[in-house]
Amino acid sequence: MNSSTNSSVEHWIFPAWRMPRVACGTTTRIGGVSETPWSSFNTALHAGDDPAHVMRNRELLKRHIGAESLQFLDQVHGVDVVRVGRNTTSRVPTADAMWTDEAGIALIIQTADCLPVMFASRDDSVVGAAHAGWRGVACNVVQALLKSLPVAPRELSVWMGPAITGRNYEVGDDVREAMNLVVPNSVLDTACAPSAIPGKWWLDLVPIVTWQLESEGVDSNAITASGLCTFGEPERFYSYRREGRTGRLASFILLNT
């Protein structure tokens, strides 16, 4: 493993899972080859970065996690779910969630504030991943993935990676009303605190997604989150809300061969 790979991996974020066959985590912006404003471990081709730099960073990611291939999505803040395998990795499906039961394929969710939600069956047979921005949460992308998986929700462990949190994510009445359609008032009161500005709210998606998972039968003890805020740590994380023109983190999960 080369020094560039080592320097990036030591900064990555990992769940406290004990599943030897599952590799899961989130990259940071540290240790890649991209230049400002994408410095330096940007994995997104759509963010305006030099494609050669992006592909080099993707190769470093693939090499470190031991994947045979990386599966990306054209993420559109929707609800579509795809099953992926060796026949799909040469293309980029338009969807916001995916799953596989094939080893060696790393499922990649790219974010710069949205919430990456990673799923693994505790028998190491299936992994899944969802891109959960507020629009995806409002249209129930997490539930759509749960319904697509060939295992029961109670058999899953779920981890939520770094995302913008309620300390920094100010939204309007329209977003709060959208959240109110998918969770009870008791959950919304926890997840959405009033701002000092009338009609503005501080939104944290983690309590909302947690409730969605539990309401579908995922064991509350099997749901964890990094607790890290992309907006609040510019040295570690990309944040679209903070920077606008920026790179993307890669949250990954795969079944080891």
Q: How far apart are CA 8 and CA 220, in angstroms?
A: 32
Dihedral angle, C-alpha 13, 19, 23, 29, nearest 10 °: 0
Q: Return the pLDDT at 2.
A: 36
Residue 178 has pLDDT above 60, yes or no: yes
Distance CA 53, CA 58 (A): 9
What are the structure tokens assigned to 33, written together? 């080859």
C-alpha torsion sign, points 176, 180, 183, 188: positive
At residue 106, the pLDDT reads 97
Length of the chain: 257
Structure token digits, residue 86: 């060796």
Cα(131)–Cα(116) distance, rounded to whole angstroms? 5
Q: What is the mean pLDDT of the chain?
A: 94
More confident site: 224 or 8: 224
Q: Which residue carries 């998918």 as its tokens?
A: 182
CB 32 within 8 A of CB 60: yes
pLDDT in tens, 79-135: 999 999 998 888 999 999 999 999 999 999 999 999 999 999 999 999 999 999 999
Q: Which helix (H) or strand (E) holds 97?
A: strand 97-100
pLDDT at 5: 46
The continuous run of DSSP H or E covering 64 comes out as helix 51-65
* Per-residue model confidence (pLDDT) at position 10: 87
Q: What is the pLDDT of residue 151?
A: 97
pLDDT: which is higher, 88 or 229 = 229
Cα of 204 vs its chain's centroid, Å: 15
For residue 8, is pLDDT > 50? yes
Contact indicator for 117, 73 with CB cutoff of 8 Å: no
pLDDT at 1: 31
Closest CA to 163 of 216, 99, 112: 112
Q: Is the pLDDT of residue 7 over 80?
A: no
Look up residue 179 and give its two tokens.
């959240």
pLDDT confidence of residue 226: 97
The CATH H-level (homologous superfamily) assignment of domain 3-164+219-255 is CNF1/YfiH-like putative cysteine hydrolases (3.60.140.10)
Task: Give the model confidence (pLDDT) of 36-88 as tens digits.
Answer: 999 999 999 999 999 999 999 999 999 999 999 999 999 999 999 999 999 88
pLDDT confidence band for 4 (50 / 70 / 90): very low
Q: What does the angle CA 158 – CA 220 – CA 151 come to, to the nearest 5 degrees?
A: 50
3-state secondary structure of 218: coil
Q: Give 51: exposed, middle or buried? Use CB within 10 Å, 0-12, 13-18, 19+.
A: exposed
Cα–Cα distances (Å) from 78 to 53, 120, 134, in that order, read: 28, 22, 10
Residue 188 contacts residue 179 (beta carbons within 8 Å)? yes
Boundaries of every domain in the chain:
3-164+219-255
pLDDT, one tens digit per residue, over 158-171 is 999 999 999 999 99
pLDDT at 3: 39
Nearest Cα to Cα of residue 121 among 231, 19, 1: 19
